[in-house]
Structure 1
Amino acid sequence: MSTLTVTTWSLEQTAPADLLPASPPAGDVRIVRAEVPSPEFSRFLYASVGGDVRWTDRLAWSYERWRELLEKPGVETWVAYDRGTPAGYIELDPQDDGAVEIAYFGLIPAFRGRRIGGHLLSYGVARAWDLSGRLPGRAETKRVWLHTCSKDGEHAMDNYLRRGFRLFDTKVAEEQEVAAPGPWPGARAV
């Protein structure tokens, strides 16, 4: 099996004022929190958004493992809808040190290039900064961070930088190359 050189960048914001929000896109785009833990819906979002960029680490997860993640206090999934259709999502994962990781973020391929991504990222980062208001007993967020890599969409890094994230680490590693799985087995990756 062949290998692929993958660069992973870690980025962060260390104050709410670091966020540089994008303008909302035209049309009927809404962002709604998925408040009911649903492994089926979360797996749909993960596979649909990440299918063409080789998100594979969660594909083998059991229903129980998905449920455990979604029921972890403070984990939030915010979904962008374009005229009622799921367009993408951002998953927030709070950590004990006052940090909130943007564990996953992206758009379903058909919705990319329409200015939804910058808006969704802006909204999700703002929700990371105000997470303590929705999670009793949690201290204020001190840091919002994420990873992106060279396998992600071509505009991912630019979107993060334009929203005010700063690079704090870079790693290069060899990974086994896997075919983009698409949103479901046998689906054509767009």
Structure 2
Amino acid sequence: MSSVPVTTWSLEQTSPADLLSAAAPEGDDVRIVRAEAPSPEFSRFLYASVGGDIRWTDRLSWPYAAWQEYLARPGVETWVAYDRGTPAGYVELEAQDEGVVEIVYFGLVPAFRGRRIGGHLLSYGTARAWDLAERWPGRAPTKRVWLHTCSKDGEFAMANYQRRGFTLFDTRVEPEPEVATPGPWPGAYPA
């Protein structure tokens, strides 16, 4: 199997004041709602639908029990953007030790990209990372929010993170196996 070099950039905010919000798109009926009942089926749907064309593959082999166990962990949250009732994208947060929250996954279903939903969803999700401890008694207040993006992600990903106030703290280049676009189903995206 051949490999391709993939650049991964890690970014962070170290204060809620770092967040630069983006307004909701005008004229759209976009709502952002927390998926409070852990659902492996729904989470896998979001993961495959958002990440299929940009080759997210690390969770595709997870069995049902792995999804269930991960989603049930205290401090894991999924926030979903809906456009007129249809899931348009999501932000997945994971509380870590010492007041750190990672934005583990963030993105939009391809049909909803380029409509100014991404900046709004990222702003909203980042704000929820900063106030996550309020929803999870016993968790330390958030002191740092971080994420990573890579050269496989959408062409506007890095700029969106930086416009929301994230700053770069690490860059790595590593080979990864080259994989075909996994879908959400075969043939979903034109080659």
Q: Distance in 2 between matches of 1:157 and 1:148?
A: 7
- Structure 2: which 5+ runs fail to align? none
Which SS does the other structure have where 1:122 is aligned?
Answer: helix
Q: Is the 8 A contact 2:98 2:140 kept in 1?
A: no
Which SS does the other structure have where 1:69 is aligned?
Answer: helix
What does 1:1-190 correspond to in 2, within 5 Å? Answer: 1-26=1-26, 27-184=28-185, 186-190=186-190
Q: Distance in 2 between matches of 1:24 and 1:51?
A: 25
Which SS does the other structure have where 2:179 is aligned?
Answer: coil
Q: Deviations over 1:50-89 (max 9, x none)?
A: 0000000100101110001110001000000000000000
What is the CA-CA distance between 1:119 and the residue it aligns to?
0.3
What is the CA-CA distance between 1:187 and the residue it aligns to?
3.1
Q: Distance in 2 between matches of 1:183 and 1:82?
A: 19
Q: Is the 8 A contact 2:4 2:178 kept in 1?
A: yes
Which SS does the other structure have where 2:92 is aligned?
Answer: strand
Q: Is the 8 A contact 1:12 1:168 kept in 2?
A: yes
Task: State the number of aligned residues.
Answer: 189
What is the CA-CA distance between 1:188 and the residue it aligns to?
2.3
Amino-acid identity (%):
76
Q: Distance in 1 between matches of 2:32 and 2:7?
A: 30
Q: Is the 8 A contact 1:183 1:189 kept in 2?
A: no
Q: Is the 8 A contact 1:87 1:108 kept in 2?
A: yes
* TM-score, normalising length: structure 1: 0.98
Which SS does the other structure have where 1:97 is aligned?
Answer: helix
Q: Deviations over 1:89-148 (max 9, x none)?
A: 000000012100000000000000000000000000000000111000111100000010
* TM-score, normalising length: structure 2: 0.97
- Counterpart of 2:79, as a letter, is W
4+ residue segments displaced more than 3 Å: none
